[in-house]
Amino acid sequence: MKSFVIEKDGSTKICELPKPKYNPNQALVKTIACGMCGTDVKLLHKTFKGFPESAYPVILGHEGVGEIVEVGSNVTSFKIGDKVLLPFIDPEPELYPGMNSAWGALSEYAVVCDPKAPWKDGNVPDCAFAQTVLPADIDPVDASMIITFREVLSNIRYFGIQPGDSVVVYGCGPVGLTFIKFLNLCGVEEITAIDRHDIKLANAKRNGAKHVINSKEEDVTDIVRNLYPSGVNFVLDAIGHPFVVNAAMPLIADRGAVLCYGVPEKEEITINFSKASYNWKVIYQQMPCKKDEGLATEQVIDWIRSRKLVLKDFISDYFPFSESVEAFQMLLDRKIQKKGIIVF
């Protein structure tokens, strides 16, 4: 099979690799599509937590959708022909010597796990709870976006954001835009979007932001404090940059919180809290629990079916897998405005 690989020197290429093996509790998936995201950028920069220089080369991709083509003898949750979310490839030294998996969904084949199969000592792989069957009425290519949707909704629930809260969202890329839309769908009205690009701020306004601020041209602290003299309940980092935590300090109310979903390239930051209230907290949720993601699926599908959520509103580009090297260069060059999807 063909797979997208980041080499040890940081270069990228499509490699010919063996198909992944699957055990009796798993099923083999033929990939249909895979989304591109900021995590991929961090992996391309070799700055993603848990992937040191020694981990490379790696097989990229974690927002995959595919079709079941073979099933293990213990599998009951999937059948051949089912479309499924989140297939992965595990690192297998025998099949892929000297190579690791950055989830590996940018491959022609991958694997899903059946949560109802008889796993040893009941130790079901966490990913199994999010490797769910896609309803037949949902386009499987655009469904790559559902993986981001589920993560965002599970994060809103984890962070404890309620309808009466005020939220500032830093960053209006695919993730930030999804947070704004989902906060709005969850009943949050006081949403302020911050970005450096007017086109992204216009998208944020269309998707539920009450206020928008261009941080390149306007003083964020002055504007937010004029809108909310006591500060806001939450400042959400959808960028993954250390500056956001410090920029949030003068914005949060007493007992407010900075919510970090974006994955920073540095694993340590210095916080200057001289302009913050006496009581505040920072909450990191960079790798959502897959069981929580799975539980978010039904609500996301309901919003799609009711047209409250339109998948294509969040997607700007489609690329054939054969052009994935060029596609990721466009992502690195910031030429993809929303979500880019690789189609097999």
pLDDT tens for residues 269-293? 888 888 888 899 999 887 788 999 9
Instruction: Please give the tally of structural domains in the chain.
Output: 2
| pLDDT < 70 regions, the chain | 262-267
Q: Supply the pLDDT for residue 255.
A: 96
Residues sharing a CB contact under 8 Å with residue 243, sequence separation 6 or more, in sequence order: none
CATH number, domain containing residue 183: 3.40.50.720
Q: Supply the pLDDT for residue 263.
A: 67
User: Ramachandran region of residue 50, left (φ > 0), alpha (ψ -120 to 50) or beta?
Assistant: left
Q: Quick: pLDDT tens for 288-338.
A: 889 999 999 999 999 999 999 999 999 999 999 999 999 999 999 999 989
Domain range for 331 is 2-134+310-343
Distance CA 144, CA 78 (A): 19
- For the entire predicted model, the pTM comes to 0.92
| Residue 248 shares a structural domain with residue 320 | no
Structure tokens at 249: 């300090």
Q: Quick: pLDDT tens for 7-23.
A: 999 999 999 999 999 99
| Residue 277 shares a structural domain with residue 158 | yes
Distance CA 5, CA 325 (A): 9
Q: Supply the pLDDT for residue 323.
A: 98
Examine residue 205 and state whether it is found in any structural domain, yes or no. Answer: yes
Q: Supply the pLDDT for residue 204.
A: 96
| Residue 270 shares a structural domain with residue 200 | yes
Residues sharing a CB contact under 8 Å with residue 183, sequence separation 6 or more, in sequence order: 156, 161, 167, 169, 191, 208
Q: Supply the pLDDT for residue 182.
A: 98
| Residue 120 shares a structural domain with residue 158 | no
The last residue of a domain, from among 238, 268, 284: 284
Examine residue 290 and state whether it is found in any structural domain, yes or no. Answer: no
Q: Supply the pLDDT for residue 265.
A: 67
| Residue 20 shares a structural domain with residue 82 | yes
